[in-house]
């Protein structure tokens, strides 16, 4: 509420003083012309006027002090109102920033919902954090715990618009602190933070690090990884930034868990639970794709069909549990032997296995088939404290030498396999 200043009421007193002076003038003239004793009355009048002027001066001083006090009060009110307005502006600006950030979170959630694979999810999280927090000198790193070893590993990293190569692949002292405590970390200046040895930090990571934010990715009681941002400048992050990054990390953790579950379910759909090899359905899909690709090009694609010799007798002698052990052992041998990029090892069904060799000539496929046959024959399998051996027969066919479509290719390899069986087993035959 605004208070108006009271206008000083000096007009009446000033008018009265002027009137008194004007009235004294005729008396002064009368005293000079007619009677000098009249100066006594003039003196008394002047004294009264002087006293009145002193009174008037005192009253004006009081009014001036009152006005000064009112001005001070108004200035204080103005300052208070200015502070309130500034506070309101800051609150409004804070709300505006929150609205913008929540809108950004909504966009992040929508983009994460579109991701199915773990790679796409990790890349999206890293890119979005880089958009929300990134500057050209800030580095964003997403670590994930390995499902089997439990070790940290880099899943995605960005610096500006580029991917960055991080020397400490398993995390530095900051990441290890977060992994150990499972608490958010905010380091304003790594040189003065007593929790960390700056010399060790420099030795582990040659990049200049001064400010660090790191959040553990946790769903329930399951730790998934760490989301981190670091900067070469001190005090580059605030507590509000840490809160916002925590919200992003919570959303990211749920998305990562969903992606991991999706990939696990997908693997269950295309992989054999006993041997860990791909199933026939996945093989047929790949064959259809790869044969058409090879026919358009000038290369060759080779296909191996393997069958365990006398496996039924093996099962009858040692039992089905022992048979499962043999199948797992053969699966591991096949995976360890065929490690070229593009090689696909499958369990075709029962005791039959198949291997798809991309960009592989038939002659080379025959050499590889002979190599794996010998390796399996030499492998010792201990069952019920008894050392046993098993052999395989292998049929080899190739595209476009023997076939031009997946069905024909499988048929030719299967026919070569039965030829190897008829010739006495434990050998390789070509279509």
Catalytic (active-site) positions: 351
- For the chain, what is the radius of gyration of the CA atoms? 46
Q: Which segments of 146-214 does DSSP mark as H helices, in order?
A: 173-181, 198-204
Note whether 304 and 296 are within 8 A (CB).
Answer: no
Asked whether 290 and 301 are in contact (CB, 8 A), the reply is: yes
Both tokens assigned to 91: 């609150």
| CB burial string 262-283: b at 16+ within 10 A, e below | eeeeeeeebbbeebebbbbebb
Q: Read off the tokens for 428.
A: 């390789």
Between strands 211-219 and 185-187, the pairing is: antiparallel
Reference 255, options 157, 102, 126; nearest CA is 126
Concatenating the DSSP letter of every residue in 339-367 gives: -STT-EEEEEETTEEEEEETT--HHHHHH
In contact, 200 and 168? CB cutoff 8 Å: no
User: Pick from 163, 296, 317, 144: which is nearest to 223 by CA?
Assistant: 144
- What the block records as the tokens of 234 is 């001190």
Do 204 and 167 meet the contact criterion of CB atoms below 8 Å apart? yes
- 177's CB contacts (< 8 A; 6+ apart) are 185, 195, 196
Using the Cα atoms of residue 200, residue 205, residue 210 and residue 216 in order, give the sign of their dihedral.
Answer: negative
Residue 208 CB neighbour total at 10 angstroms: 12
What gap in Å lies between CA 406 and CA 290, rounded to an integer?
A: 9
Q: What is the DSSP letter of 196?
A: S
Q: How far, in Å, CA of 33 to CA of 192, rounded?
A: 99
Beta bridge partners, 428, equal 394
Please give the distance of CA 88 from its chain centroid, rounded to a whole number: 33
């Amino acid at each position: 509420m605004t208070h108006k200043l009271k206008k000083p009421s000096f007009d009446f007193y000033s008018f009265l003083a002027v009137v008194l002076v004007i009235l004294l003038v005729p008396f002064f003239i009368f005293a000079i012309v007619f009677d000098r004793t009249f100066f006594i009355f003039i003196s008394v009048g002047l004294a009264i006027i002087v006293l009145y002027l002193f009174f008037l001066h005192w009253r004006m001083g009081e009014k001036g002090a009152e006005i000064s006090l009112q001005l001070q009060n108004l200035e204080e009110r103005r300052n208070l109102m200015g502070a309130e307005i500034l506070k309101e502006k800051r609150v409004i600006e804070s709300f505006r920033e929150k609205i913008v950030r929540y809108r950004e979170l909504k966009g992040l959630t929508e983009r994460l919902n579109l991701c199915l694979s773990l790679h796409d999810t990790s890349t999206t999280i890293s890119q979005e954090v880089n958009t929300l927090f990134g500057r050209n000198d800030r580095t964003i790193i997403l670590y994930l715990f390995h499902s089997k070893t439990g070790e940290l590993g880099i899943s995605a990293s960005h610096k500006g618009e580029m991917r960055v190569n991080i020397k400490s692949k398993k995390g530095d002292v900051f990441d290890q602190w977060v992994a150990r405590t499972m608490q958010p970390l905010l380091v304003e200046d790594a040189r003065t933070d007593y929790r960390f040895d700056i010399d060790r930090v420099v030795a582990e990571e040659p990049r200049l690090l001064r400010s660090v934010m790191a959040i553990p990715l946790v769903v329930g009681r399951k730790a998934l990884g760490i989301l981190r941002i670091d900067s070469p400048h001190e005090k580059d992050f605030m507590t509000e930034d840490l809160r916002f990054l925590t919200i992003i990390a919570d959303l990211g953790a749920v998305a990562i868990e969903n992606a991991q579950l999706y990939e696990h379910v997908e693997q269950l759909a295309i992989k054999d639970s006993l041997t860990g090899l791909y199933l026939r359905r996945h093989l047929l899909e790949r064959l259809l794709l790869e044969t058409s690709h090879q026919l358009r090009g000038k290369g060759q694609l080779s296909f191996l069909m393997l069958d365990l010799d006398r496996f039924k007798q093996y099962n009858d002698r040692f039992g089905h549990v022992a048979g499962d052990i043999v199948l797992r052992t053969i699966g591991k041998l096949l995976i360890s032997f065929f490690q070229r990029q593009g090689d696909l090892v499958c369990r075709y069904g029962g005791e039959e296995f198949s291997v798809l060799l991309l960009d592989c000539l038939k002659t080379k496929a025959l050499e590889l088939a002979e190599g794996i046959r010998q390796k399996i024959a030499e492998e010792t399998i201990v069952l019920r404290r008894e050392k046993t051996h098993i052999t395989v027969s292998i049929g080899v066919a190739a595209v476009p030498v023997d076939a031009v479509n997946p069905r024909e290719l499988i048929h030719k390899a299967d026919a070569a396999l039965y030829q190897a069986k008829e010739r006495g087993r434990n050998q390789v035959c070509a279509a």
